[in-house]
Structure 1
Amino acid sequence: MRSLSRKLKVLGEAQQSLQEDIVENVALGVRVEARVQQLCQPKQLEKFRTFVGDLDRVLSLLLSLLGRLARVDNALNSLEDDPAAKERQTLLEKKQLLLQQHKDAEELKESVERRQCLVYDILSFQLTNDDLDDFTHFVKMKSSLIVEQRNLEDKIKLGEEQLACLMDSLQPKHSRS
């Protein structure tokens, strides 16, 4: 229990550090957007804002679908080997639906990546090289921070569940003493 508690404490500290990185990247994004607003046409600004919003939504969707797929796979693996089980069929249907949704989300991600190149090209005519470097860094960090945040949240949730199960399993032993 102490080991899991220490692990959760370390994960909590990592999450706090990650939050600071997210705040810094959001501030960079605000500065980049201000430069775009200052130097570009309203249509170009709108393309920038749409791209950034879509990037957020598509990455969150992909991560959510991956998490749901993992939970369905875990549920399938925990079922007994009775192939006639109604629950198994329901889970298999759910998995197929999630796989199709994931495929669709991957296509959306590819579209967003193509639009990133278009937005970069548009901005390259208006912004300085430093501004373009900030844009590239902002987008790269935004993506990696979203992924890292989700991974940390999943690890913390798993650790908390493991700790709760461990505590529950130890309760009857303590009451017998």
Structure 2
Amino acid sequence: MFVGDLDKVVSLLLSLSGRLARVENALYSLEEEAPNTEKHTLTEKRKLLMRQHEDAKELKENLDRREKLVSVVMETHLDPESLDDYRHFVKMKSALIIEQRKLEDKIKLGEEQLKCLLDSLPLEQRPPL
């Protein structure tokens, strides 16, 4: 159950961080002439995402405390080698989730770039999809 929660909380933090970064980029790239409603909407969205991100960080802190408790229980039931394997697994789980997200983002960016390139070709030169 702990490992499942770890997966969910790390994914949530990554998702919120990405969304927050996109909103901040949109805010900073707004032109001076942009409508105030657009600025206001993005600012409110940024505030909401920041609150959600802070909440998710609290969840992660609680999960870290829970990890210590689970580790104590595991110490009593596992031999030292298995305990090391468990701790390595928990550490790598977060790292692999982060790496997976990076790869998914790269794939998405590549697909978007490919679509833009295909759209820039004259119709008769476009490959059939």
TM-score by length of 2: 0.86
User: Is 2:57 aligned against 1:106?
Assistant: yes
Question: What is residue 159 of structure 1 aligned with on the other side?
Answer: 110
Deviation of 1:95 after TM superposition, in Å, equals 0.6
What are the ranges of 5 or more consecutive residues in structure 1 without an aligned counterpart? 1-48
Quote the Cα distance in structure 2 between the aligned partners of 1:171 and 1:91. Answer: 36
Query: In structure 2, what is the equivalent of residue 37 of structure 1?
Result: none
2:1 corresponds to 1:54 = no
Query: Aligned residue for 1:147?
Result: 98
Q: Does 1:115 align with 2:66?
A: yes
Specify the alignment match of 2:45 in structure 1: 94
The aligned runs of 1:9-20 (5 Å cut-off) are: none
Partners of 1:74 and 1:158 lie apart in 2 by: 16
Q: Which ranges in structure 2 are unaligned for 5 or more consecutive residues? A: none
One-letter identity of the residue aligned with 2:32: D
The residue type paired with residue 26 of structure 2 is A
Cα offset, 1:84, TM superposition: 4.6
> Using the alignment, how far apart are the partners of 2:35 and 2:51 within structure 1?
24
Q: Percent same amino acid at aligned positions?
A: 62
Amino acid at match of 1:155: K
Higher normalized contact order (CA 8 Å, seq sep 6+, divided by chain length)? 1
The runs of at least 4 consecutive aligned structure 1 residues that moved more than 4 Å come to none
Partner of 1:138: 89
Q: Could you say what secondary structure the match of 1:125 adopts?
A: helix
Q: Aligned residue pairs: how many?
A: 126
* Residue identity matched to 2:80: N
User: Is 1:63 aligned to residue 14 of structure 2?
Assistant: yes
Aligned to 2:119: 168
**Equivalent position SS for 1:157:** helix
C-alpha displacement of 1:170: 3.5
TM-score normalised according to structure 1 size? 0.65
Counterpart amino acid of 2:41? T
